[in-house]
A and B are shown apart, each in its own frame.
Chain A
Amino acid sequence: MPKDLTLKKILVIGSGPIVIGQAAEFDYAGTQACQALKGEGVEVILINSNPATIMTDTNMADRVYIEPLTPEFVTQIIRRERPDGLLPTLGGQTGLNLAVELAKQGVLEREGVKLLGTDLRAITCAEDRDEFRTLMYEINEPVPSSVIVNTVEEAVSFATSNGYPVIVRPAYTLGGTGGGIAKDEAELREIVDNGLRYSPITQCLIEQSIAGMKEIEYEVMRDANDNCIVVCNMENFDPVGVHTGDSIVFAPSQTLSDREYHMLRSSALKIIRALDIKGGCNVQYALDPHSFQYYVIEVNPRVSRSSALASKATGYPIARIAAKIALGYTLDELKNPVTGQTYACFEPALDYVVSKIPRWPFDKFISANRRLGTQMKATGEVMAIGRTLEESLLKAVRSLEIGLDHIELAEAKQLTQEELEKRLAEADDERLYLLGEWFRRGCSLETAYEITKIDRFFLYKIGRIISLEEKIAKEESLSHELMLEAKRMGFTDSTIARLRRETERHVRDLRKELQIKPVYKIVDTCAAEFEAATPYYYSTYEQEDEGKKSNKKTVLVLGSGPIRIGQGVEFDYATVHAIWAIREAGMEAVIINNNPETVSTDFNTSDRLYFEPLHREDVLHIIEKENPVGVIVQFGGQTALNLARDLREEGIPILGTSLEEIDRAEDRKKFEKLLSETGIAQPPGAAVTSIEAAVETATKLGYPVLVRPSYVLGGRAMEIVYGEAELRQYMVQAVKVNPEHPVLIDRYLLGKELEVDAICDGETVLIPGIMEHIERAGVHSGDSIAVYPPQFITETHKQKLVEITTNIAKSLQTRGLINIQFVLYKEEMYVLEVNPRASRTVPFLSKVTGIPMAQVATRIMLGETLQDQGYEEGLWPEAPEVAVKVPVFSFAKLRRVDVTLGPEMKSTGEVMGRDRDYARAVYKGLVAAGIHMPRFGTIVATIGDKEKDEAIPLMRRFHQLGFQIVSTAGTADALEEAGLPVRRVCKLTEGSPNIIDLIRKGEADLVVNTWTRGKTPARDGFRIRREAVEHGIACLTSLDTVEALLTTLESIHMSAEPMSPPVVTKKQEAVFIG
């Protein structure tokens, strides 16, 4: 069928900010879709609130709207743009939910917008549990017995008659938010209560537990002519019970016979047909490991995280093809872009094994519950490709960047056998490594199976890795055969060295002597059956190398690895821009990265893509193969920077700011020297290496102090410490975090935080913009609301910022990007931190200023000056609009994590609000961030003693806006004294009704809580904040954020004031007195 010519203008909905359950995969999908649609000559209108994405670059669509993803804003855009069609299936659950909402409100029909890809019935059918079950019964596809409930009692009654455990799945939530497995009635009551609240339609599915079965996924595509294909199937390492986003996954399936494979394949095709989906779809199955019995678990009628993975795992560009299908094309008309000669209507054949391992945020959220269940907790993932399962798996492990190069966790050795068994039984993020420990202790495969229900095949593979370890450790010398076996199984030189008690260098030299080195093979969708043109490579240890030589100069760009807190999609954004700049300069851009969700790992982005771990050995191999003129490390976050040090040792040229200069910025002593030489103020502090020195320094500086390990990203393990005991406790943990580097202790200056990104060519310094943070110093810059241009500082302050930035950039002979954070304290500008690399504000600032910062910086690294590019020294003229960058958190997904903002970064994503004034921009930013802004109602205020004075005027403003204020004794006393009416409630320890009861009953509309900052979950403040988050109530922990919110509320509030009494003149006054 030819393309539908009535579709001239299409609106694409993005997925908004990165949250757990919805990450960069939708930037990849959206970007592909926009490119595909534009390539067809369609006018593309894009809406997405996330500025940190490639898809919101203005060259990706004809018009890009970075606006809140709410029905109101989308409607406004629809009215203005009048698109012919709306494509919602590439924007994750957010896009789909929005489309449903728009359709329900009648907007689409009224404005004549056609819903593309999947019709409304399919969306609701796949999403609404009841409809879905009915459909499955109709087409004879088995689903676990279940019941749809709207109350807790219904759930309990089902479980009582069907038995425990049962699975709770709330309808229409992201990444299984609010769901879980209940083993008894108490658990069931809690989970269902929670789940009902999260479900926008107050509905949960209570399901017979099929935990322990194999979990299998199929990625299916279909066109309007009913051609259906399976792009890829995948098998989870973890049996049913762990959310697939939190599971280790292999592609293709490993333990399914042809019969099982095709039984499920046929079922998947039947389902996509029944749902009449035109585009991509994902079907999840539970397969009984002892029979052909299977159950359909879930269907996603859209492009998903799994389809991004499937695209990268096979080379088949699902989103691109789905976009073309939406235009009316059929699969048999579209070429397979990988081969260029065959068609998109086929099923990829893999000749390698793909592993995916999720990246969890537990390294940052130490107190979080690490148990894995039906609610997803991972922020990102890595993928690896190998010709053996072991190679693939071990490559994935070292791609995670959690300090491991092997399935070996030092802490695991300390566990008692009992503890080990207990932890294996309850899946957590470390189970893979614990299984390694299990086999190292010589424990049996069968017992491991009994405990974990992980398929014996996978357990055997882990056991085999461990046996090889033993062999390597035992053999007298490393023979060619053994070395080759180790490399084929994915062992790094460093692992082999550790096992042999030799140096890595020694192993490497020996390996080279034995002439064992990796070859590179192509991911081609067809197992070499057809010639492929795609430059998509992975390494393995075999005979033939398919790498192609080119005469052009090559530049290697190191990517940023998995999405994690502190290193998000912003870095992939900068990486992609660097690649574009290199290609534009006529050189070949080669990228190494391992994150399947990203645009940088689309094989279309670079000249050559190496889907490899960003691990020293793997990177060096690629460098040996490519022999690049230089390596760019500025855009890959801390990952790339850490690698740069290894590369320097090997004498590999690093482009841009030299490593010596980077060290000068990051090494405390050198940095202090630099600042004092240039006369720039810095909060007083010192670097210490022992606990005693820390205590001594802190006493000298005076508490509170800011402590952190050196070389950090995302404020990892950074804290404000108020006393000695707390400091001692911190030191034990922090030193454990990073034993090689000293800990930095600074005086904590409670002032206004400012941030500057600059570009320098060594001579000239261009400052695209200054950002002002709403929350004062002490809240991590990534977690505070940033405003551009600054609203509350003077021209003199700005000049000072420009002066210092220019000075530092030049002193460090910066070639490329530099980011500096300041605190304005008592009219003095202090430098907090200098990052001589791309920062997370690069995409935001690039978008609001129009300067493609990463590209300009890359061209500098390639030899151009700023002047060559037409830029002059100094601060770029400020834009007339105000833009705010608002952080987005995923607290609802992470139990037991304190939501208080502090020096450690906690947000997972960001949105942008932009409008003609500050109040409107903040309003949009907060709405886009998903903060429900009450215009009236009840505000629960519990304010710490330190902040009471400051809070009173704010509470007065709430009162004037008509809010009722509810407080416990302390805060209430203070407010009443200030003349404000307060409703008193009990503290948690004082019985009912207390604050939590209030929140649970839905009687609170906003929570302001600055109590008891700390990490102990037991504290009242912590419990109140968690309760608010879990009930979807905005919880503000910084008075600065409260102030910004108030400004916005006031600006949209039409005031209702009583009439003033008649004017009394002075003369009259005198008369009265007289």
Chain B
Amino acid sequence: MKQARLLLEDGTCLVGKSFGAEGTSVGEVVFNTSMTGYQEILTDPSYYGQMITLTYPLIGNYGFTRDDDESIRPYAFGLIVREHAEYMSNWRQEDSIDEWLKLHKIVGISGIDTRMLTRKIRLHGTMRGILTTGTASEDELQEVLRNTPLITDQVKNVSTRSVHISPNTGKRVVLMDFGSKHNIQRELSERNGEVISVPYRTTAEEILRYRPDGVILTNGPGDPKDVPEAIETVRSLLGKVPIFGICLGHQLLSLACGADTEKLKFGHRGGNHPVKEISSGRTVMTAQNHGYTVTAESIDRTRLRISHVALNDGTIEGVEHLDFPAFSVQYHPESAPGPLDSGYLFDRFMEMMEHGKDAYEKKGEKVRA
């Protein structure tokens, strides 16, 4: 079998076997600790520009199926595993992991001590790396790595280019697509929501012209500060229409309200992250995928209050606006992959749209009491 190599910024060179597409890819090397859901992870547009290390050693066991795609095509830049399944077994399987990665031209490497790599990332912080099936020398690869500029236009590459609508009979929701996962739309559709997906650069004026009952700010890749135009849009929408932000959308809402964001050492990526809802005191398991976070101290100078925190490191996982019907969470209530514990947030959004902000406030008070 063909060899593949992964070279990291710190000079680490890991040799493994090639699977999926051949070629060379440069990206940020991150790890995800979910034990299932590799397809949803690979098709989550938030991974644009990143090479994903999966810590669970056996990947591809149940194959791939069109049903589980979270976007039209995958955006991850590479996949690093201990072992990719040569054989798959599940009633819904369509493609094997090897076929699927080849189809989508994603470079894969297997046979890697992924635990060692994870420990490195944990200690060192997220690093950039170059993954290749070619024969270039390590020096040459380092050279390429150094010369590849940092990307800042991730959202542009994953957001929809045109407006499209999924008609339905319920509330009309404008979905600002920063790299949306399909399941956000499925959650809305399940609640009879009519979803109008718009490109990330759509202005507030254009959005309001759809007469939406609410706006969803979706997840997406990269640094929220790389999309200043969206922050502007959100600021203009505040108070005019109920807003629900998810992941990048949460960071954008926070920035629009005057808070700040910062990069985490190695991010939160996995399906087992405990998040505590302050009002109820309850902790739920959440799916997470983010490298940036809203800075805790920066909240004080805003009209936001912290609604959710990460149990383990105390970082902000959710905020709500004190004056306007707007709230957001850093994690993925739409799951896919991950625990289904937070679907209630979509219900809350629906209610907010139904009753306006007052009702939401009242309900909030009740929960808090």
Which A residues are within 8 Å of any B CB, using their own CB? 225-227, 229-230, 252-259, 261-262, 265-266, 269, 289-291, 331-332, 341-343, 345-353, 387-389, 455-457, 460, 464, 521, 526-531, 542-544, 546
Q: Are A544 and B115 in contact (CB under 8 A)?
A: yes
Q: Cβ of B341: which chain A residues have Cβ within 8 Å of it?
A: 269
| Complexed CA–CA distance, A448 and B339 (Å) | 35
B219 on the interface (CB 8 Å rule)? no
> Interface digits, B82-119 against A, CB 8 Å rule (1 contact, 0 not)?
11001111111000000000000000000001111011
Closest CB in chain B relative to A166 CB, distance in Å: 26
- Distance in angstroms from B7 CB to nearest chain A CB is 15
Also in contact, A257 and B62, with CB within 8 A (given A349-B272, A353-B57)? yes
List 22 A–B pairs whose Cβ atoms lie within 8 Å, in order of A's numbering.
A227-B282, A257-B39, A258-B37, A259-B68, A262-B36, A289-B91, A346-B274, A346-B312, A347-B272, A348-B272, A351-B114, A351-B115, A387-B57, A388-B82, A457-B88, A527-B33, A527-B55, A529-B33, A529-B55, A531-B122, A543-B113, A546-B119
In chain B, residues 56-71, which have Cβ atoms closer than 8 Å to a Cβ of chain A?
56-58, 61-62, 65, 68
* Bound Cα distance A345, B286 (Å): 12
* Partner among B56, B68, B91 whose Cβ is within 8 Å of the Cβ of A350: B56
Q: Are B274 and A521 interface neighbours, CB within 8 A?
A: no
Q: Are A258 and B336 in contact (CB under 8 A)?
A: yes
> CB distance B338 to A262 under 8 Å?
yes
The residue among A227, A255, A526, A529 with the most chain B CB atoms within 10 A of its own CB is: A529
* Beta-carbon nearest neighbor of B335 in chain A: A262
**B285 proximity list for chain A (CB < 8 A):** 229-230, 346-347
Residue of B nearest to A545 (CB): B116
Asked if B129 is at the interface of the complex by the 8 Å CB criterion, the answer is no
Chain A hits for B338, CB < 8 A: 258, 262
Q: In the bound complex, do residue B312 and residue A457 qualify as a contact, i.e. CB atoms below 8 Å apart?
A: no
| Contact yes or no, B62 A255, CB < 8 A | yes
B27 close to chain A: CB less than 8 A: no
Q: B1-44: contact bitstring with A at CB < 8 Å (1 yes, 0 no)?
A: 00000000000001000000000000000010111110110000
Please tell me if the beta carbons of A345 and B311 are within 8 angstroms of each other in the complex: yes
- B273's partner among A261, A291, A331, A346 (CB-CB below 8 A) is A346
- Taking the closest CB of chain A, its distance from the CB of B39, in whole angstroms, is 8
Cβ-neighbour of B282 out of A226, A347, A542 (below 8 A) = A226
Which residues from chain B contact A262 at a C-beta distance below 8 Å? Answer: 36, 335, 337-340
A544, B113: Cβ atoms under 8 Å? Answer: yes
Neighbouring A residues of B284 by C-beta, 8 Å: 227
Residues of A within 8 A of B276 (CB): 332
Cα of A455 to Cα of B118 in the assembled complex, Å? 31
CB distance A345 to B36 under 8 Å? Answer: no
Chain B residue at minimal CB-CB distance from A291 = B91
Contact of B58 with A343 in the complex, beta carbons under 8 Å: no
| Interchain nearest-CB distance for B351 vs A (Å) | 21
Q: Which residues of B contact A (CB under 8 A)?
A: 14, 31, 33-37, 39-40, 55-58, 61-62, 65, 68, 82-83, 86-92, 113-116, 118-119, 122, 270-274, 276, 281-285, 311-312, 335-341
Residues in B whose Cβ lies below 8 Å from that of A352: 57
B56 in contact with A254 (CB, 8 Å): no
Check if B116 sits within 8 Å of A343, measured CB to CB. Answer: no
Q: Please name the residue on chain B nearest to A290 by beta carbon.
A: B91
CA distance A340 to B172 in the complex (A): 47
Whole-angstrom distance between the alpha carbons of A527 and B122 in the complex? 11
B335 adjacent to A257 (CB under 8 Å): no
Q: Which residue of A lies closest to B67 (CB)?
A: A259
Q: Which of A227, A258, A456 contacts B283 (CB 8 A)?
A: A227
| A-B interface, 10 closest residue pairs, ranked by CB to CB distance from nearest | A258-B37, A457-B89, A544-B116, A527-B55, A349-B33, A543-B113, A347-B272, A258-B337, A542-B113, A258-B36
Q: Which residues of the other chain, A, contact B86 by a CB distance below 8 angstroms?
A: 460, 464
Residues of B within 8 A of A261 (CB): 35-37
Chain A residues with CB under 8 Å of B58's CB are: 254, 353, 388-389
Q: Which among A226, A343, A349 is the interface contact of B56 at CB below 8 angstroms?
A: A349
Rounded to whole Å, the gap between the CB of A731 and the closest CB of chain B is 47
New contact pairs (5) apart from A464-B86, A544-B119, CB-CB < 8 Å = A255-B61, A262-B339, A353-B58, A528-B119, A529-B270
Q: Give bound CA distance, A605 to B55, whole Å.
A: 28
Enumerate chain B residues within 8 angstroms of A265, measured Cβ to Cβ. 339-340
Q: Is the CB of A255 within 8 A of B89?
A: yes
Q: Considering only CB atoms, which chain B residue lies closest to A525 in the complex?
A: B272
Residues of B within 8 A of A252 (CB): 35-36, 56
Q: Which residues of chain A have C-beta atoms less than 8 A from B61's C-beta? A: 254-255, 457
A460 close to B274 (CB less than 8 A): no
A460 engages B89 (CB within 8 Å) = yes
B36:A332 contact, CB within 8 angstroms? no
B33 touches A255 (CB 8 A): no
How far is A262 from B68 in the complex, measured between Cα atoms in Å? 13
Which chain B positions have C-beta within 8 A of A269? 341
In Å, the complex CA distance between A455 and B336 comes to 25
CB of B116 within 8 A of CB of A542, answer yes
Closest-by-CB residue of B relative to A229 is B285
Complex contact B55–A528 (CB within 8 A): yes
Q: Is the CB of A460 within 8 A of B87?
A: yes
Which chain A residue shows the least CB distance to B281? A225
Contacts of B36 in A (CB 8 A): 252-253, 256-258, 261-262
Query: Which residues of A lie under 8 Å from residue B116 when comparing CB positions?
Result: 542-544
Query: A256, A266, A347, A546 — which one has the most chain B CB atoms within 10 A of its CB?
Result: A347
| A343 close to B335 (CB less than 8 A) | no
User: Which of A256, A289, A348, A528 has the most CB atoms of chain B within a 10 A radius of its CB?
Assistant: A528
Residue numbers in A under 8 Å from B115 (CB-CB): 351, 387, 521, 527-528, 542, 544
Min C-beta distance of B270 to chain A, whole Å: 6
Determine whether the beta carbon of A345 is less than 8 Å from that of B283: yes
List the B side residues contacting A257 at CB < 8 Å: 36-37, 39, 62, 65, 68, 90, 92
Q: Which residues of A have CB within 8 Å of B283?
A: 227, 331-332, 345
Docked CA distance A544–B116 (Å): 6
Residues of chain A within 8 A (CB-CB) of B31 are: 529
- Min CB–CB distance A228 → chain B (angstroms): 8
Give CA–CA (A266, B33) in the complex, Å: 19
- B88: chain A residues at CB < 8 Å are 457
